[in-house]
Amino acid sequence: MKSKSSILVPVLFLVGLVILVTFLLWGLVRARQAPAGYFQGEVEAREIQVSGKLAGRIDGVAVRLGDRVAAGDLLFTIDSPEVEAKRRQAEAAREAAAALFRKAETGAREQEIRAAEQQLLQAEAGRRLASVTFERIGRLYEDGVLPAQRRDEAEAHYQAARAAETAARALYEMAQEGARTEDIEAAGAQERRAAAAVDEVEAFVRETRIHAPRAGEVAAILIEQGELTPAGFPVVKLADLEDIWVTFQVREDDLGAMAVGTRFEGRVPALDGSSFEFEVTWMAPLGAFATWRATSLSDGFDLKTFEVHARPVEPIPGLRPGMSVLVRRSAR
């Protein structure tokens, strides 16, 4: 059985180790906090997450981290075989609709008109022959040579020949006049519809080349070349260093000196500790969280913390997101 001293030594070692780690963490937290009597803010910039409307494979990324881009510069391209196939289908449909429209506008071909004319001539000849035959048989019937059945048959052939002539004449006239106005308008509408479908696909094709919506600096590349991207998923993130501000978390009992429009001097440790002038431009309408502060030994109350934005009065060269800004409370 182990002695008490052999068990006590590891326990004391562990306790000492815990105390040392706690002390180091407390010192680290204290080092990151603003000095007493200061507000500490963090610089932020407008971020734009650029994505495409199409799902596909990233064909190429035209920028690298840290590149400065202007509005309209190419950022990345997407390879989408499905869009290319749809474009070919739409173009074929437009060509077919255009051909039908031209056919409706042009009307019947010359050969079709001549064929209709010959059918009319043939029908006229058949009607004349049926008319002469009907007259002859009618006289023979009156003379008692032929029965009434033969006369009725001759009359039926004559009426059929007249109807055939009327139909042939209508076909000939229609071939001469061409397509109806309604048919031409319908064919034109079909052509415009097919052209609109091509325009729609062309719009998707343009979405395979994504350009910068505004000037900025490439802050992150989220999907590399060769990887698949879903529609609407960010591929490149831009930071607009011209649209920059400082975010402070201010307790409500300090808001009186941080009203919108207030100007103050802020020190930027990352820029050799230089001081610059800032102006409060926005204050959150609602408190973000609460900080408990005791007012006596017996009770206390919660003080809400509000987010406050302040922008540089003049552009500050070298100011970047993530930098700290310290503001002395007495210098507000």
Could you say which residues of the chain have pLDDT below 70? 1-13, 15, 20-36, 101-113, 172-185, 288-301, 330-332
User: Domains in the chain and their CATH numbers?
Assistant: 34-75+218-331 (2.40.30.170), 84-204 (no CATH)
Query: What confidence score (pLDDT) does residue 34 get?
Result: 47
**Scanning the structure block, which residue is given the tokens 């007249």?**
162
Q: What is the largest CA-CA distance in the chain?
A: 156
Query: What confidence score (pLDDT) does residue 275 get?
Result: 94
Query: What confidence score (pLDDT) does residue 184 get?
Result: 65
Which amino acid, residue 84?
E
285: Cβ contacts below 8 Å, ≥ 6 apart: none
**Scanning the structure block, which residue is given the tokens 């074929």?**
92
Cα 312 from Cα 298, distance rounded (Å): 43
DSSP labels, 238-281: EEEEEEEEEEEEEEGGGGGGS-TT-EEEEEEGGGTTEEEEEEEE
Cα separations in angstroms, 289 against 189, 247, 258, 259, 325: 61, 15, 18, 19, 21
Query: What confidence score (pLDDT) does residue 293 get?
Result: 52
Strands 216-221 and 74-79: unpaired
DSSP labels, 204-221: HHHTTEEE-SS-EEEEEE
